[in-house]
Amino acid sequence: MGGFSKTRLERVRDRLAKSVESGEVPGAVALLSRDGETHVEHAGDVRPDLIFRISSMTKPVTAAAAMICVEECLLRLDDPVDELLPELASRRVLTRLDGPLDDTVPAERAITVRDLLTFRLGIGFGAGMWGPPGTVPIMDALGTIGQGAPEPAAVPAPDEWMRRLGALPLVYQPGERWLYNTGSDILGVLIARVTGQPLEDFMRERIFEPLGLADTGFSVPAASLGRLTTHYTTDPGSGELTVYDPPDGQWSAPPAFPSGAGGLVSTAGDYAAFASMLLGGGVHRGVRVLSRPSVSLMTSDQLPAEVKAVSGLMLGDFDDMGWGFGLSVTTRRTQLYDSVGTYGWSGGLGTTWINDPAENLTLILLTTRAWTSHIPPAICRDFLTSAYQAFAD
C-alpha cells in the first residue's frame, strides 16, 4: 500500500472549500493518515490547531479507559456493577415503553461492565422512543438528567447524577437491546469510583499524557481559550445558524460532571494520536496504552443478531454495522468508503472519525456546526468518499 495521491487530495480540499462557500459549515478541519503519511486540510474560520467539542467521539476514549481497568483486574467484563454502583442494584424495568415510570417489573439479571460497554444495560436512547413531550415519560425523565446534546454546565456532580438515574426504571431488560449514550456516562462514573480518581485525572494519567494529547480534556484552560472554536447549531424554524457555545462558554471551566459519553474537547492532531494507538494494536510511537487483545475486543462487533434486529437509533441502523466497546464496526461494505472491519464513531456536534485496518487508514473530520440527524450529513459522506479515492496505489 502507499499513501495518498497529491492530485486526488485536491478533491478533499475542494469539497471542504465548497462546504464553507455554500454555508454548509462555517469551518472544517480534515485529517487523513495512511501508511505513515498524514495530510491536514482546513477551510473557513478554523485552523488545524483549533480545539473542537468532539461530543460522542468521547465514547471510544471512555471505553479505552475502562479497558485499562479491565486489564489491571480492577473491573471484570461480566461482573455485576452493583458493588461500585449501588444506585443500579435491584433494577426495575418498564412494562411498556410509553408507560408511567412506576409501572414496572423486576430486572431479570444485574447490569454488568460488558453491558455498559456495549450499551445493553437497558437504558438510553433508541428507535421508537422519540415523541412529543409527555408521550414517552422515560424520555422526558432522561432529558432532565442531562441525557441529550452536551451541556456541561447543566449536569450535577457524579454522585447526584447517579442518584437521579437510579430513581428511574430501565426501559428494557439488561442485554435485550442496544440503547445509546447512557452507558458511557455511567462507565465514566464507574471508572472514577474503581480507580479513586476523577475521570479526567485518570484519562490524563493513562491516556492523554502517554499519547501527548495536550489539548484534550473536559474543559479548556484559560491560556488556550483563544483556540477553542465558536460552535453553531441550526435553528429548526429558520434553518439559520445560531451560536450553540462561544469560546468563553460551557467548556471554559471544569464541569461538575465529566461526561464519558460526550464531554471531551480535542484537536485533529490529538485525536489522530488516539486513533493511531488503536490502529497500532494499543501502541503509538513506542508507547503502549492498551494490550493488543483489548483493542481487538473493543473494535470487534459484540452484538448478537437478535439484538441488532430490534436496535438502533432508527431500525435498520445495524443492517451493515455492529457495535464494539464505545464505537461502531462496519460488518458489510455498502459504500465506496468503510471496508469491512472499519471502526469509529461520530459526534453530534459535527465531527467524525474512522480507522480502517484493511487500508491502514485514519480519517478525522471536525466541523463547527452540529449535525441535524444521527445520519451524518453530506459533507461527512463526501469527505469519506473523496478520501478513499485519494489513495496513491
Residue 151, all three cell numbers:
451541556
pLDDT per position as a tens digit, 119-140: 999 999 998 898 888 899 999 9
Residues of the chain with CATH 1.20.58.710: 68-195
Model confidence over 321-344: pLDDT tens digits?
Answer: 999 999 999 999 999 999 999 999
CATH 3.40.710.10 fits 6-58+214-388, yes or no: yes
* Dist. CA 349–CA 360, nearest whole Å: 27
Helix axes 58-71, 182-195, angle to 10 degrees: 40
For the stretch 198-257, pLDDT in tens is 999 999 999 999 999 999 999 999 999 999 999 999 998 888 899 999 999 999 999 999
CA 232 to chain centre: 19
- pLDDT tier, 1 (very low <50, low <70, confident <90, very high otherwise): low
How crowded is residue 89: how many other Cβ atoms within 10 Å of its Cβ? 14
| CATH 3.40.710.10 domain extents, the chain | 6-58+214-388
Q: Which CATH architecture has domain 68-195?
A: Up-down Bundle (1.20)
pLDDT of residue 108 exceeding 80: yes
Mapped onto helix, strand or coil, the DSSP state of residue 179 is coil
pLDDT score recorded for residue 312: 95
User: Mean pLDDT across the stretch 108-117?
Assistant: 98
Instruction: For residue 72, count other CB atoms closer than 10 A to its CB.
Output: 11
pLDDT of 141 = 94
CB 234 within 8 A of CB 373: no
Across the range 356-378, mean pLDDT stands at 95
